[in-house]
Structure 1
Amino acid sequence: MNTPPILKTSAARVGIGGPVGSGKTALVERLIPALLGRGIDIAVITNDLVTAEDAERIRRSGLIDPARVSAVEAGACPHTVIREDPSLNIEAADELERRFPGVELILIESGGDNLASTFSRDLTDLWMFVIDVGGGDDIPRKRGPGVIRSDLLVINKTDIAPYVGADLVRMQREACEVRDGRPVLLTDCRRGEGVEAVVDLLERDVLFRR
């Protein structure tokens, strides 16, 4: 007798981490309409040190119902509430699911941190790490845990490579080398380039739609 598969009934949870200024919030703002445009029911959690600034920015954007955006104030190093003790984020995600029973995907944006930032597997089904070209094309060679271990590495701000003297081709190649085949995607969130590829990956690897 074949045992039927266990169906996941709770929303998938996707972490988005990376250094300050790498473009995490800009990526979230691009992902929201792209996900909604594919009929995916979503909610958002942002993490900041002692403010709700990123949450308020997204609420004011008009991209999503403001009630679907929650803010977590870390009160300490940003990685504390996404790795060491993610209970505040787990509680926030659970509350969003109670208020919006149909939600399929919750984006959890970390506060800006360094290359050592990682997400607890108790919190996320998949986590991506966002770096940007302006931070230097040598970031992959520094081999921080965020770059090495994340399920998806996003190299953002590709448009500024010529202006900061970055070798984008080498940066992408070296990122692929240190990640042992795990995906690397390039984005320019200012123009929205590369965002659909991120959504494709989330549909395939998190929502299992493809």
Structure 2
Amino acid sequence: MHLGHSLSHGGPDAVSAGARRPDGARRALRIGLGGPVGSGKTATVAALCRILRDEVSLAVVTNDIYTREDAEFLLREAVLPPERITAVETGACPHTAIRDDISANLEAVEDLEDEVGPLDLILVESGGDNLTATFSKGLVDAQIFVIDVAGGDDIPRKGGPGVTTADLLVVNKTDLAPHVGSDLARMAADARAQRAHLPVVFQSLRGEDGVRDVAAWVRERLAAWTA
């Protein structure tokens, strides 16, 4: 179990986004999950682990500013063996560790591949951030951005790089819409206007379908990665 990574200052220039490891083997597909505080990123990661762990070899890197709370939640839920979950304490704004100085996260994913590999998939969860949060392409191969209906149904209309450019936008906690006055149809229309052809998934982890559609999207990315 790795819970001790901290953010260093190596800078993004030293990062390689190559698809192969030094030994020539294909590395794991890396998918980043970002979004505002409380949007349901960790719950989505947990649900993905439960549905995919019997199909693929996967691991998780979480990011928090001063704690290891998200990693410890995943450990308590036993979504993966402990050695497949590691934490980065950023000590700064979350976007710093996923976009500006990714060295600690890059070290974490490479350590996981060295120590529990071979891996097919690594999920890198950002700490809670704002609508501008995006991952460096030197760290992840695809990005999921998670928002929730309780944050306001105007979030897709407001846009921001996370909403408009992520490879997949997840609108989470749809079961709360009647209770918080959010219009799901309006959110869907605004998301389409902001994202053009990029996909959007509406989900409730309390519902029967849960994370099914996001898992299907991940499977498609994995198939393309290994083809």
TM-score by length of 1: 0.93
Give the stretch that moved more between structures: 139-148 or 199-208: 199-208
What residue in structure 2 maps to residue 69 of structure 1?
85
TM-superposed deviation, 1:137 = 0.5
Deviations 1:103-132 (CA, angstroms, capped at 9, x unpaired):
110000000001011000000010100000
Q: How does 1:96-175 map to 2 (within 5 A)?
A: 96-175=112-191
CA displacement 1:3-43 (0-9 Å, x = unmatched) = xxx99710000000000000000101110011113x11100
Structure 1 position 15 matched with structure 2 position 36: no
- Of 26, 33, 41, 2:43 maps to 26
Q: Is the 8 A contact 1:47 1:74 kept in 2?
A: yes
Structure 1 gaps of 5+ residues are 1-5
Asked whether the 8 Å contact 1:12–1:207 carries over to 2, the reply is no
Runs of 4 or more, structure 1, over 2 Å off, are 190-194, 205-210
**Which of 53, 56, 62 is the aligned partner of 1:36?**
53
Identical residues among aligned pairs (%) = 50
Aligned to 1:188: 204
- Aligned equivalents of 1:85 and 1:35: distance in 2? 30
Q: Does structure 2 conserve the Cα–Cα contact (< 8 Å) formed by 1:60 and 1:66?
A: no
How well do the aligned residues superpose, as a CA RMSD in angstroms?
Answer: 1.6
Q: Identify the residue that residue 3 of structure 1 maps to in structure 2.
A: none
> How many equivalent residue pairs?
204
Partner of 1:88: 104
Deviation readout 1:67-99 (Å, 9 max, x if unpaired)? 110000000000000000111101000000001
Range with bigger deviation, 172-181 or 191-200: 191-200
Q: Which amino acid aligns with 2:135?
A: F
Would the aligned equivalents of 1:50 and 1:74 in 2 still touch at CA under 8 Å?
Answer: yes
- Are residues 175 and 59 of structure 1, via their aligned partners in 2, closer, same or farther at CA, if it must alter by over 3 Å? same
- Asked whether the 8 Å contact 2:83–2:116 carries over to 1, the reply is no
Distance 2:222 2:193 in 1: 24
Contact (CA 8 Å) 1:126, 1:206: kept in 2 or not? no
Shift of 1:207: 3.5
Shift of 1:190: 2.9
